[in-house]
Structure 1
Amino acid sequence: MSEHTATLSAEWQALLAAPAVNVASLARTGVPIEPGVYLWRRDGEVRYLGTASSLRRRVWGRHLGRGVSLGGSSLRRNVCELLHGIPTTVTGGKNRQKVTPAQAAAIRDWLDGCTIAWTVCSSAADAAALEGRLLDEYRPPLNRK
């Protein structure tokens, strides 16, 4: 995405400029509890954009889980498809299939190789609106259309 940054809106530019933290060294208490929008990068490239009513609960409670059920995290399901070729329709939904412990560990290892940045918003509605505007402008590869 770096070749496109000059054409992105001020909102995208602000999120791209937000301080990034290595996921492997991220402390739970270092993630705000407020609502916001967050951005995952791997190898310097934007991979995923999300929104949360509580950044800490979403990032820690869903995306950085170590369990074999991927139902609560579209990011983990999309990484699973990327790494293991298991469609998100299999690991999501009410009849979802769980992954093996080794597959779950590989997903977490992939996520640990990322950086995350965020911007805090005044409300969950503001965060959702910001995410919508950002995704209308640019859709990272791990965000589904």
Structure 2
Amino acid sequence: MEASRTSSKQLKLFHLENPLSVRLGADFFRALPSVPGVYFFYGQAGELLYIGQSSDLRARIGSYRHVTPEKNPKRTLRLVHRIVRIEWQECGTAADAIALEAKLLLEHRPPFNRAGVWRGDPWWLKIEASSDQVLLELTREQTGTGPHPAGFRYVIGSLVRCACRVSLPQASFAAYPHGVFNSSVPLILSLPLPNAPAVAAQLKSYAEGLHEPFLSRLEKMSLGATALEQEYWQEELERLRKYASKIRKLGESKPQAPAP
């Protein structure tokens, strides 16, 4: 019981006083540029902990001041507690930032990065639908849509949650299907949703590379009534946009077949 009270007290302390705000101060975050770029988190001994990228460095780096035990995984909490220095490199465009991040992740492989630190086997996404249910299976077998890069494993969760949001626009988080808010959704997932065939079609379209219709629909929706909801859905949308930009960049870099 005593350990439980201590843990609860520590979580409340973290929520009230984020370590980054204490260590770096408000002036540091106000001075961050609102431009595309890559950012670097360092630990006490100067070790590189994490590499990320964003189309808006100020917004993305600043969002780490709002990490809480209630809405973020323990891995992110541990990362924030260890950060003592933040650096960044500005890029000309968001696509340039994505390309630079991909290159640096393979070179440095920071311990708190998961996606992008190695070139893993591709994924395939199988999508089926009945009148009231969508069944998703992420597999290494060549079936359904694919191939998807190894990092797709960490995008599918955002894609599923946003598809649920489109299908259940007025629902609270508690009404969402079980498991969709896990940091990694299950490889096989059954979603009981209204308009299941339409949702499945939207997921398949995005997975096949037709990103804009789904992203545009999300952008037209309200981000929510509370600041927490607005920040959460904005981050989810940014993650899907980041992935779409990465796929587009990879497509542009592939050699084109000569005209017949």
TM category, shorter: 0.5 to 0.7
Q: Output aligned runs, 1:111-122, within 5 Å.
A: 113-122=83-92
Q: How far did residue 144 of structure 1 move? A: 0.7
Letter matched to residue 64 of structure 1 = R
Q: Distance in 2 between matches of 1:55 and 1:23?
A: 19
**Mapped pair 1:142 → 2:112:** yes
Give matches, 1:89-108, under 5 Å. Answer: none
Aligned to 2:52: 50
Identity rate of aligned residues, in percent? 34
> Cα distance, 1:78 vs. partner?
2.2
Mapping of residues 11-30 of structure 1, within 5 Å: 23-25=23-25, 27=27, 28-30=29-31
Task: Give, in whole Å, the separation in 2 of the partners of 1:120 and 1:69.
Answer: 29
**Alpha carbons of structure 1 residues 33 and 138: separation in structure 2 relative to 1, 3 Å:** same
Check if 1:133 corresponds to 2:103.
yes
The TM-score, its normalising length taken from structure 1, stands at 0.55
Structure 2 regions of 5+ residues with no counterpart? 1-21, 116-260
Alignment of 1:35 with 2:36, yes or no, is yes
Count of aligned pairs between the two proteins: 91
Separation (CA, whole Å) in 1 of partners of 2:94 and 2:42: 23
SS in 2 for 1:69: coil
Name which structure has the greater RCO, CA cutoff 8 Å, separation 6+: 1
Q: Which residue of 2 aligns with 1:78?
A: 75
Structure 1 residues not aligned, in runs of 5+: 1-21, 71-75, 84-106
- The 3 A distance-change label for structure 1 pair 66 and 135 is closer
User: Structure 1 runs of 4+ off > 4 angstroms?
Assistant: none
Which is higher, the Rg of structure 1 or of structure 2? Answer: 2
The residue number in structure 1 matching 2:201 is none
Distance in 2 of aligned mates of 1:58 and 1:124: 13
Q: Could you tell me how far 1:23 is from its partner in structure 2? A: 5.0
Instruction: Determine the C-alpha separation between the residues in 2 that align with 1:52 and 1:77.
Output: 22
Residues 133 and 66 from structure 1, CA distance in 2 versus in 1: closer, same or farther, beyond 3 angstroms?
Answer: closer
Q: CA RMSD in A?
A: 2.3
Cα deviation, residue 26, structure 1:
5.1
Distance of 1:116 and 1:26 partners within structure 2: 14
